[in-house]
Structure 1
Amino acid sequence: MGGVSPQRVAFDAARVLVSAAGSDLCWWLCGEVGRCLGARYEARLLETRLRLERDDVYFREAGCWRALLEDEFRDRPDVAECLYQVIEPLLGASGGR
């Protein structure tokens, strides 16, 4: 993973996932999240998309994703590498929200 810590991946992935959940990238990203983390996370990303359509909950969703991913990486550190490969090209696009 090139020296990137799982905590950093969780932080960056939370921003990317929530930013992309409200965009056309969501459908592609859901598949990639499902591939790396499992169907439960794919469904969770779709739930995030629905919440973002109804309310301004970006920061709350990002915080939830960060905690969720940190817990997952603690139990399954190998999936941090997979998710990092998915989000790394999108990091610049999610910069400020």
Structure 2
Amino acid sequence: MAGVSPQRVAFDAARVLVSAAGSDLCWWLCGEIGRCLGAGYEARLLETRLRMEQDDVYFKEAGCWRAMLEDALRDRPDVAECLYEVIGPLLGASAGR
């Protein structure tokens, strides 16, 4: 993952997480995000899932996730690799959003 900026990881991860929040991938992704970033992020992804069921809030949620992840990566740059390993295989699937 050398050479990938934390901002890019945050942007890509936000897009993937919000796109997957309404799918069956969400449950797996929650566990992986919890493993990389902690239980608070796992819970936040479940909240995103609920919001996505009620309204068309994709862009709002993606923006919130991007900001949260940028803050997390600024404080803990070591988790960028873990996060990118989780979202990397899913990047193509969220490209259509």
TM-score category of the 2 structures, normalised to the smaller one: over 0.9
SS of structure 1 residue aligned to 2:20: helix
The answer for the alignment partner of 1:51 in structure 2 is 51
Q: Which residue of 2 aligns with 1:32?
A: 32
Q: Alpha-carbon deviation of 1:2?
A: 2.6
Identity of aligned residues (%): 88
Gaps of 5+ in 1: none
Amino acid at match of 1:68: M
User: How far apart, in 1, do the equivalents of 2:12 and 2:71 lie?
Assistant: 15
1:94 is aligned to 2:81:
no
Which residue is equivalent to 1:18? 18
The separation in 2 between residues aligned to 1:96 and 1:12, in whole angstroms, is 13
Question: What residue is the counterpart of 2:75 in the other structure?
Answer: 75
**2:66 and 2:53 mapped to 1: Cα distance?**
20
Runs of 4+ in 1 over 4 A off after TM superposition: none
Supply the distance in 2 between the matched residues of 1:53 and 1:69 (Cα, whole angstroms): 22
Unaligned runs of 5+ residues in structure 2 are: none
Q: What does the per-residue CA deviation read over 1:37-91, in whole Å, with 9 as the maximum and x for residues that have no partner?
A: 0000000000000000000000000000000000000000001111000000000
Taking structure 1 as the reference length, what is the TM-score of the superposition? 0.98
How many residues are matched? 97
In 2, the alpha carbon distance for the partners of 1:96 and 1:31 equals 24
Report the Cα distance in structure 2 between the residues aligned to 1:80 and 1:2, rounded to whole angstroms: 10
